[in-house]
Structure 1
Amino acid sequence: MKQIRTEIIGVGTELLLGQIANTNAQWISEKLAKNGFNVFHHAVVGDNLQRVINQFTHSESRSDIIIVTGGLGPTEDDMTREAFQQISNLEMVEHKPSMDKIETFFRKRESVMTANNRRQARVFKGAEAIENEVGMAPGMIVQHQHATWIFLPGVPREMKQMVEHRVIPHLKQQTGLQTVIKSAMLRFVGIGESTLEDQLKDIIQKQHNPTIAPLAQNEGVAIRVTAKASDDNEANQLIEKTKQEILSVAGAYFYGSDEETLPERVFSLLKTQGKMIAAAESLTGGMFTDRLISLEGASKVCSGGIVCYDAKVKENVLKVSPDTIKKQGTVSEQCAREMAENVCTLMDVEVGISFTGVAGPDYSENNPPGTVFIGVAQKGKETFVKKFIFQGDRDIIRNRSVIKGFELLWNLLKIA
């Protein structure tokens, strides 16, 4: 059976300028994948007639289904129809139901409809028009040469309605495709992408269905497992089997699936174990506490935190020993230890965590940027402090410190 090649084109200079993100392509790709369609290409082209023509010509040479979003509005820079007419020579006609809707829109608002609004009601002769239930410009499905062309508005709410109500059903009926493509994300922390891939090389080398792809993420590494099957149940079974193979090798680093985050996993462990946590934050400036308390129900696990950026706050509020600050400095193992222990005592919680270090760009206390100490104290247990050297700018160093703090807590709590 021939593989169906699908392509998505976004039309609009604003996409190229970065003024808006091309979320349409992402959303459409996800919907197509769930219904078994492989998207081979994404393309973005600005509002220039010749460039749009060139892109359409190139896309037609390589794809079976071409979905175009944007460029169907009333203004002169909306030229999707004009570009396609140049390569197809198809006649454009006014779609009366859409024109009636546009005229009614202006009449109800007692405003004058300018002539250019008639542009929005134009469709290609013989095309299957797609009613715009939440806007004005209709979409359309056109067969030309070997390809199916689908033209959709760029406004997300208008596009989504058309894709779900008309486009997906049409494509499934047209192709007879009875498959689904489903993915699961397995999330790991405490192991690098290259190391994880090396550990899984035997599984990856024999992959076929499902396929396996390592992906670097903000919170560690993810493995995407993608299965193609006749239905959701079969896809889930294929994914689960591969997941268990992966976890048999790298399960020690696995913390969650799909959209689960590391803060959520730590939150869940704290809640299950009935423990409260508080944080003493210097270089992170409250970032750790913010991520924890942004979760619903955080008051059950987090009593608060102390932002102690200045040495005087560490000494006067957090009660870090003046002798420690004088002799060892604020960027030291001993300072991190006292910060964690003291916030645990002051807040009367079971777990205290501390962050102190140098975010940069300059040295501090003879420590280079990226030097970070994280301490974790528990009532009735020995406090531990870990030193790290992170690379990057201030934001990256601070963010990595917070993630590492959650990683340390996850490793600690999951064996409690």
Structure 2
Amino acid sequence: MKAEIMAVGTELLLGDIVNTNAQYLAKELALLGIGIYRQTTVGDNEERLKTALLQALQDTDIVITTGGLGPTPDDITKEVSAQVLHQELVLHEPSYEVIKAYFRNNDRAMNGGNQKQALFPKNAIILDNPNGTAPGCIIPGEGGKYIINLPGPPKEMVPMFENRVKPFLRQFTDGTIISRVLRCVGLGEWDMANRVKDIIDASDNPTVAPYAKEGESILRITARAKTEAEAQAMIEPVEAEIRSRIGDYIYGTDDDTLEEVLGRMLVEAKRSIAIAESVTGGMIASRILSYEGGMSEVLGEALVTYSNESKVRYLGVNPETLARYGAVSEETCREMARGLREKTGAQVCLVTTGIAGPTGGSEEKPVGLVYIGINLDGEILVLKKYFTGGREKIRVRATISALDQLRRALLGTLPLSTIHDTK
């Protein structure tokens, strides 16, 4: 069985809104064992939408649309779907009553367009929407074809798919596709792929594919089987072999983020942390605070000590150290890490200093030079790093590296009281 995912909305076509619905649906359909034939984006134009739906029904068995179910004149998905499948629109009384109750029987709101949200193709299966005013529907067509209309807002679309559409689709599947994503940091895509090249080349089912994104590399293991349990069993030995070769460069799986993994480590160990940033200018604190699992319990202070004066005032860096070695130096970074602990009493301290550019570099200290300092219970590690790219990219890469180095230090895989020079 093949499916097409069709996003409807001029705002999507113009890039004003990111289409996260397509990504979600593609993953979910793959897990059901339904092949994704194509993803399409269509603006709010009746003829173009009609043409797209007709072509999709010719090429696939199921078309899943998102968007265009609202009360305004440019919300036309349901109407065009009905035309394509030669069905008239009729009022669905239960939906009409729910919408009326939502607007507290306001005739002006209903006559202004909200009533149309209760109109559906005659043979449609109605999908209630407890998270919004626009119900969805499953419309059967000739030859076992279906158009499934879902609302555009993800907070409405996702629960509707999970609770109503997914159970409906299971009747058409006799297998499943399961993927496991291994997320690596500190290892380039070419290096990661080279370490498992024979596995990538030899694997047919499961397949292993490398990908790259900003600051990290990804290996996706995908297995096809009759049941989810069988697919998971096929993935496990492949994952174990990959982990034996890549080790702690793998920081997480599937939807994990580096800051979530690090946040969990700190919160579960009840380790207090303080951060002082120069070159990264608050990026580390922002990333780590995105972890929602209790960072307020462990993060006491996060400082941006960008100037020399702030390093002296808030971290106790010796002015003579700054004068002799400069703000971007191992010596200054070490004093920042020591001073942050002395000032805050935090068990874990993370600091950065460096040159992001575009100016300020020299032959001895080029743009992209960054020092990362970690203080764990009084033991200090300073790492010397070089990053390439523009100013923003250097700051982002330095942030990712700092988070990862702290993760490794907490795991005990980095020796303390030393300096590492890494290009």
TM range (shorter): 0.7 to 0.9
Once the 2 structures are TM-superposed, how far is the Cα of residue 105 of structure 1 from its aligned partner?
A: 4.1
1:95-174 aligned within 5 A: 95-97=91-93, 100-101=96-97, 104-105=100-101, 108-112=104-108, 113-114=110-111, 116-117=113-114, 119-125=116-122, 127-134=123-130, 135-145=133-143, 147-173=145-171
The answer to whether the Cα contact below 8 Å between 1:372 and 1:390 also exists between their aligned partners in 2 is no
Q: Which residue of the other structure, out of 403, 409, 414, is the alignment partner of 2:411?
A: 414
> Are residues 95 and 129 of structure 1, via their aligned partners in 2, closer, same or farther at CA, if it must alter by over 3 Å?
farther
SS at match of 2:69: coil
Instruction: Report the equivalent of 1:213.
Output: 209
SS of 1:227's partner is strand
- In structure 2, the CA distance between the partners of 1:37 and 1:354, relative to structure 1 (3 Å rule), is same
C-alpha displacement of 1:47: 0.5
Task: Provide the TM-score with structure 1 as the length reference.
Answer: 0.85
Hey, what does 2:191 align to over in structure 1? 195
Distance 1:262 1:172, change over 3 A: closer
SS of equivalent to 2:395? helix
1:227 to 199, 223, 226: 223
Looking at structure 1, the residues matched to 341 and 184 of structure 2 have their Cα atoms a distance apart, in angstroms, of 29
Q: 1:360 Cα shift? A: 2.8
Letter in 2 for 1:230: K
The count of corresponding residues between Structure 1 and Structure 2 is: 408
Provide the residue aligned with 1:388 in structure 2: 386
Partner of 1:248: 244
2:400 is aligned to 403
What code does the residue aligned with 1:45 have?
Answer: V
CA contact (8 A) 2:81 2:147 kept: no
Q: 2:322 aligns with which of 322, 325, 331?
A: 325
User: Deviations 1:214-254 (Å, cap 9, x if unpaired)?
Assistant: 22234522222222333332222122121112112212422
Are the equivalent residues in 2 in contact too, given 1:333–1:387 (CA < 8 A)?
no
Letter of the 1:255 partner, please give it. Y
Residue 371 of structure 1 pairs with residue 373 of structure 2: no
- CA separation of 1:346 and 1:115: change in aligned 2, threshold 3 A: closer
- Residue 131 (structure 1) shift: 4.1
Q: Deviation of residue 185 (structure 1)?
A: 1.8
Paired letter, 2:252: G
Query: Structure 2 CA distance, aligned partners of 1:132 and 1:380?
Result: 58
The answer to whether the aligner puts 1:32 opposite 2:33 as a matched pair is no
Identity among equivalent pairs (%): 36
Q: Which amino acid aligns with 2:281?
A: G
Structure 1: 5+ residue stretches without partners: none
Alignment partners' CA distance in 1, 2:89 and 2:290: 53
Task: Tell me, yes or no, if the aligned pair for 1:186 and 1:258 is still in contact at 8 Å.
Answer: yes
**Counterparts in 2 of 1:255-334, with a 5 A limit?**
255-267=251-263, 269=265, 276-292=272-288, 294-295=290-291, 296-298=293-295, 302-334=299-331
Q: Is the 8 A contact 1:98 1:131 kept in 2?
A: no
Opposite residue 226 of structure 2, the aligned amino acid is S
Q: Tell me what 1:238 maps to.
A: 234
Is the 8 Å Cα contact of residues 138 and 146 (structure 2) preserved in structure 1? no
| Selected match of 2:333 from 332, 336, 361 | 336
Structure 1 residues 339 and 178: alpha-carbon distance in aligned structure 2, compared to 1, 3 A threshold: same
Instruction: Give 1:359's aligned residue.
Output: 356
Q: Which runs of 4+ in 1 moved over 6 A?
A: 271-274
Deviations 1:189-220 (A, max 9, x none): 21101211122111111222222222223452
Q: Deviations over 1:319-360 (max 9, x none)?
A: 222222223321223222222233233334454432111223
Kindly indicate whether residue 75 of structure 2 is the aligned counterpart of residue 78 of structure 1. Answer: yes
Is contact 2:371–2:382 with CA below 8 Å preserved after alignment? no
Q: For residue 188 of structure 1, report the CA deviation from its aligned partner.
A: 1.4
Cα distance in structure 1, aligned partners of 2:405 and 2:270: 18
Unaligned ranges ≥5, structure 2: 414-423
Q: Report the CA distance between 1:44 and its aligned residue.
A: 0.9
Give a deviation string over 1:145-166, Cα, whole Å, max 9, x none. Answer: 5632222333445544543344
* CA contact 1:277–1:344 (8 Å) conserved in 2: no
- Which residue of the partner structure matches residue 63 of structure 1? 60
Supply the AA of the counterpart residue of 2:9.
G
Question: Relative to structure 1, is the Cα distance of residues 301 and 95 closer, same or farther in structure 2, using a 3 angstrom cutoff?
Answer: closer
CA distance in 1, matches of 2:232, 2:374: 39
RMSD over equivalenced CA pairs, Å:
3.1
Greater CA drift, 159-168 or 50-59: 159-168
